[in-house]
Amino acid sequence: MIEDCTAVILTGGGSERMGQDKASLELGGGTLLQSVSVRIRELFSEVLVSVRQPRKDTDLPQVCDVMVDTGPLAGLTASFERAKTSWVYLVACDMPFLETEVIELLASKRKQCQAVVAIIDGQPQPLAGFYAKECAVVAGEILAGSGKHSMRALLSKLEVCYVGEEELRSVDSELRSFIDLDTPEDVAAVLNGVN
């Protein structure tokens, strides 16, 4: 167990490209939210679900976005206020193939930084990363400002440990942990064994 960290599953997105609520999408005998929460509960004793409005399909504690339509950053900021731990692990509900070994690897990199994020195909993966609670001030300032309210804007202001593909492949050879299901085509590809 990663005792000094609260896991937060993001379900507050609009799911525009999917055309339906992603968290309640059925895949492999359960919903995406159930799939992610089962894996997350293996590693974290405190798990929250970040929501736009309360959900009826989970028994996990829920935290509502304080600001609407401001994306994952709003969910992270609200979760910082609720978490009792010094770190938050943020993960999107549309990443059902997370490997616990990947999460443990990222967790091991938290020394002397404010965030730990994977880099896949040269792009940071902020929706499967660790954030120190001290980041709450910076996140709040970004939300209150007139600029982009994005996770990348947050990363640009933090001391971040980026973990590259080579190291990630040592525990997840095909990097399946970072497959996210944004569209019906993504789901079809998974069901057909393309990913």
Q: What is the CATH number of the domain that holds 24?
A: 3.90.550.10
Distance of CA 140 to the CA centre of its chain: 18
Bridge partners (DSSP) of residue 128 are 91
Q: Give the pLDDT confidence of 22-75 residue by residue, as tens digits.
A: 888 888 788 999 999 999 999 999 999 999 889 998 999 999 987 776 789 999
**Which amino acid, 180?**
D
According to the model, what pLDDT value does residue 22 have? 81
Inform me whether the pLDDT recorded for 17 exceeds 70.
Answer: no
Return all residues near 129 (Cβ < 8 A) that are at least 6 apart: 89, 90, 106, 115, 116, 117, 118
Question: What is the pLDDT, as a whole number, of residue 189?
Answer: 79
Q: What share of the chain in percent tops pLDDT 70? A: 93
CA distance 162 to 156: 12
Domain count, the chain: 1
Q: By residue range, what is the domain housing residue 56?
A: 5-191
Q: Is 175 left (phi over 0), alpha (psi -120 to 50) or beta?
A: left
Q: Tell whether the model's pLDDT for residue 192 goes beyond 70.
A: yes
Long-range CB contacts for residues 102-108, cutoff 8 Å, separation at least 24: 102/128, 102/168, 102/171, 102/172, 102/177, 103/2, 103/43, 104/2, 104/43, 104/171, 105/163, 105/167, 105/168, 105/170, 105/171, 106/130, 106/163, 107/2, 107/5
What's residue 51's pLDDT?
A: 93
41 contact partners, CB below 8 Å, separation of at least 6: 47
